[in-house]
Amino acid sequence: MLNKISNKLRFIILLMLMVSCGNVTPPYGESQIVKSSIVATPGKFWQKNHTLIITFLDGSSEQKNEVEIFSKEITKYANLNFAFYSSVANVPKGKKIDIVITFKNVGNNSAIGTDSQYAISQGKHSMSLSELSKNSAGSRRGTILHEFGHAIGLQHEHQNIYRTFKIDEVLTKEYCKNVYKFTEEECTDQIINTLPNKEKQNYYSKYDPASVMHYNLHSSVTKEKIAFANINSLSLIDKFEIAKLYPGRISEKEIISGHQILKEEIKKIETHGNCIITRSEVEEIRLNESQKPELTKVSYYSYSSINPSEYNASTLVEDKEGLLFTIRNDKFCNFNELELSEYRAKSQQENLNKSKLGNCEIPLTKEGLPKPNLCDSQYPFQVFEIKKQESADKSCHPTFKSAYESMKETEYCSLKGDALRAVEKEREEKFEASRKFGRCYVENYASSEGATSYRRCSLEHQWFVTIDRNKTLNNFCYGDPDSLIKEIQSEPKCL
């Protein structure tokens, strides 16, 4: 039964022991060195039911605790045990240390399997998690699972010899440089090359694009333009094959049923504390069940405050399971009533203090809330030019923070003196030259010189169109004259 299911599942696990995402080197007598990678001989997995002694060179108690909690998910499936000690000095005498972790080295990386013991014998760490502090809880979980996957003997899934996509080497090297900060050699070794299988040194089964051991790759780096999302959770196949390599902890039937139950429970979760999860769909090229590229609708998840406009995490991920870990660690989502009330009062006052910047402002009520009717309830904040009282960035924003960041980046908002006067003169000339098209004329309700001053308009939507300057075109009011000018150029009544 185990072999039958295994043939249907697609996953790569490599017996080869090399440093992945890093450069710890075991003795030359035990492995063949290929560039910065190590193609190791078989037999580098830990003994079944072995208790790995794991300790730290540095880091806060919060960091160490998170590593312990997230990494132990692997021991649900692998017949291994993880025993954590807060420092090398706290490891009991007579116990051999298997993994040493630092949070200060450059990058996230780990020795593969028992090669960690060689690094430790040389007085070095065997795993680095220095980039964790830059990420959300969900991403930290994914990184920890990925590096501990290496620590028990797994390799990069995107380097599987059976992978069903082709790499564009030129674009991939550029992507590596900008996203992963890799050198060309590191990019070749960690992403572009598939892993060798000389003399059956590596164990392969079919390719699994959903593995936590797979890098997220932008569609531009593959010739088929396939996108690979950032996965922060163990896939079903990850779980199954880990259990197969370290048998005795859980059966394949328990893994499959447990995974299905988990996915169903995750699907039902829509809120947590003060936050709500929203789902959106994007069409992307992905691999279908037959491992062929196919344009498909992909669900992405984000979260924000249940009360619109109050808080938005600016997170958009495909892995909802990983997102839930981020939400459960988000302070705002877990505020009690008193904390939430204090947060609101503080935020609203801060909004009022920062609502103006140079020539621009974010329109707010005296309570520090977005003025109504500027945009919709999901994106209620807008950046206005103070003088013209119209949008400065042609956008609506979900939170005050995102509107404020846009206001800082909008060049007009910070212009002064001659530079400001020159821009305003150029704008005025351009507007006057284009506001009339055929019989139509774009007017402002507060300063209209036409026969009809359209009084149904408001400060927020002050622009309207007249025909022959004596009657309105369509009884509508608009907030943006520039888009209105474009609209009348395709309006038959104006000709």
Predicted confidence at residue 3, as pLDDT, reads: 40
Smallest CA-to-CA distance from 192 within 210, 212, 177 is with 177
Smallest CA-to-CA distance from 395 within 469, 461, 479 is with 479
Q: How many C-beta atoms surround the C-beta of residue 428 within 10 A? A: 10
Predicted confidence at residue 7, as pLDDT, reads: 37
Report the alpha-carbon distance of residue 408 to residue 185 in Å, rounded: 39
Predicted confidence at residue 479, as pLDDT, reads: 75
Q: Give me the mean pLDDT over the 127-131 stretch.
A: 93
Specify the higher pLDDT residue, 44 or 337. Answer: 337
Report the alpha-carbon distance of residue 360 to residue 53 in Å, rounded: 58
Edge-to-edge strand ranges of the sheet holding 271-272: 271-272, 275-287, 293-305
Res 480 pLDDT > 50: yes
DSSP 332-350: GGG--HHHHHHHHHHHHHH
User: pLDDT tier at 445 (50, 70, 90 boundaries)?
Assistant: confident
Predicted confidence at residue 455, as pLDDT, reads: 57
Report the alpha-carbon distance of residue 446 to residue 443 in Å, rounded: 9
Q: Give me the mean pLDDT over the 178-204 stretch.
A: 78
Predicted confidence at residue 472, as pLDDT, reads: 82
Percent of the chain surpassing pLDDT 90: 54
Report the alpha-carbon distance of residue 18 to residue 212 in Å, rounded: 18
- In the chain the domains, ranked by start, together with CATH numbers, are 2-252 (3.40.390.10), 269-334 (no CATH), 337-414 (no CATH), 435-494 (no CATH)
Highest mean pLDDT among 66-70, 209-213, 463-467, 468-472: 66-70
Report the alpha-carbon distance of residue 141 to residue 65 in Å, rounded: 12
Predicted confidence at residue 11, as pLDDT, reads: 31
DSSP conformational letter for 92: P
Res 334 pLDDT > 70: yes
Predicted confidence at residue 4, as pLDDT, reads: 36
Tokens of 258: 């447990």
Degrees to nearest 5, angle at CA 103 with 101 and 105: 95
305-328 confidence digits (pLDDT tens): 998 778 887 678 999 999 999 999
Distances (CA, A) of 380 to 9, 194, 374, 397, 400: 47, 48, 7, 6, 9
Res 56 pLDDT > 90: yes
User: pLDDT tier at 199 (50, 70, 90 boundaries)?
Assistant: very low
463-467/471-472 β-pairing? antiparallel
Whether the CA torsion 112, 113, 119, 120 is positive or negative: it is positive
Q: Give me the mean pLDDT over the 228-247 stretch.
A: 91
449-460 confidence digits (pLDDT tens): 543 455 567 766
Res 235 pLDDT > 90: yes
Q: How many C-beta atoms surround the C-beta of residue 302 within 10 A? A: 17
Predicted confidence at residue 25, as pLDDT, reads: 39
Smallest CA-to-CA distance from 138 within 279, 5, 316, 294 is with 316
Predicted confidence at residue 309, as pLDDT, reads: 76
361-410 confidence digits (pLDDT tens): 999 998 888 888 778 777 889 999 998 778 888 889 888 988 999 999 99
DSSP conformational letter for 215: P
DSSP conformational letter for 402: H
Predicted confidence at residue 201, as pLDDT, reads: 52
Report the alpha-carbon distance of residue 437 to residue 69 in Å, rounded: 66
- The alpha carbon of 230 is separated from its chain's Cα centroid by a whole number of angstroms, namely 7
Question: Average pLDDT over the chain, rounded to whole?
Answer: 84
User: pLDDT tier at 446 (50, 70, 90 boundaries)?
Assistant: low
Query: Amino acid identity of 409?
Result: E
Residues 437, 428: contact at Cβ < 8 Å? no
Q: Give me the mean pLDDT over the 290-302 stretch.
A: 91
